[in-house]
A and B are shown apart, each in its own frame.
Chain A
Amino acid sequence: MKKILVILLLAVVGFYIAGTFFDIGFGNSHFVKNDAIKPVKDTYLQQTVQELKVSNTVTSIVVNFRGFDTLGEVTVLFLSVTALGSILYKKRHHVGERSVLFSASSIVTSGSKLLFPAIVLLGTYVFIHGHLSPGGGFQGGVIIATGFLLMLLAYENYSVSHTSLAIVESLAGVTFAGVGLLGYMNGGTFLQNFLPAGTLNDLFSGGVIPIIYIAVGFKVAAELTGVIYTVLNEKGENHG
Chain B
Amino acid sequence: MAFILIAVLLLLMIAAAIYAVVQKDLLYAVIATGIISLVLSILFYLLQAPDVALTEAAIGVALTTIIFVITIRNTERMEDEPQNDNNIKSEVK
Direct interface between A and B, CB < 8 A: yes
How many A-B pairs have beta carbons closer than 8 Å: the answer is 53
How many chain B residues touch the partner (CB < 8 A)? Answer: 18
The CB with the most chain B CB atoms within 10 A, among A126, A149, A236, A239, is that of: A236
B-contacting residues, A191-240, CB 8 Å: 224, 227-228, 231-232, 234, 236-240
Task: Name A231's contact: one of B62, B67, B76 (CB within 8 Å).
Answer: B67
SS of A interface (majority)? helix
B76 touches A240 (CB 8 A): yes
Whether B73 and A236, one on each chain, are in contact in the complex, defined by CB atoms closer than 8 angstroms, is yes
The answer, yes or no, to whether B15 is at the interface (CB within 8 Å) is: no
Interface string of B53-93 (1 = CB under 8 A from A): 01100110011001100111111110000000000000000
Residues from chain B with a CB closer than 8 A to the CB of A228 are: 63, 66
A236 vs B74: C-alpha distance when bound (angstroms) = 5
Cβ-closest chain A residue relative to B78: A240
CB–CB A146/B54 < 8 A:
no
Cβ–Cβ contact B58 & A143, under 8 A: yes
Q: With both chains docked as a complex, state the minimum distance between the C-beta of B53 and any C-beta of chain A, in angstroms.
A: 8
A240–B74 Cα distance when bound, in Å, is 7
Contact of B73 among A58, A135, A145, A239 (CB under 8 A): A239
Task: State whether A136 touches B51 (Cβ < 8 A).
Answer: yes
Within 8 A of B (CB), among A122-172: 126, 134-136, 138-139, 142-143, 145-146, 149
Cα distance, A185 to B51, chains bound together (Å): 32
> With a CB–CB cut-off of 8 A, which chain A residues contact B72?
240
20 A-B pairs with C-beta separation under 8 A: A99-B73, A99-B74, A126-B54, A134-B50, A134-B51, A135-B51, A139-B54, A142-B59, A146-B58, A146-B62, A149-B66, A231-B70, A231-B71, A236-B73, A236-B75, A237-B74, A239-B73, A240-B72, A240-B76, A240-B77
* Interface, chain A (partner B; CB < 8 A): 56, 58-59, 99, 126, 134-136, 138-139, 142-143, 145-146, 149, 224, 227-228, 231-232, 234, 236-240
Q: List the 9 closest A-B pairs by CB distance, nearest first.
A: A236-B74, A134-B50, A142-B58, A240-B77, A139-B54, A58-B51, A146-B62, A134-B51, A231-B70
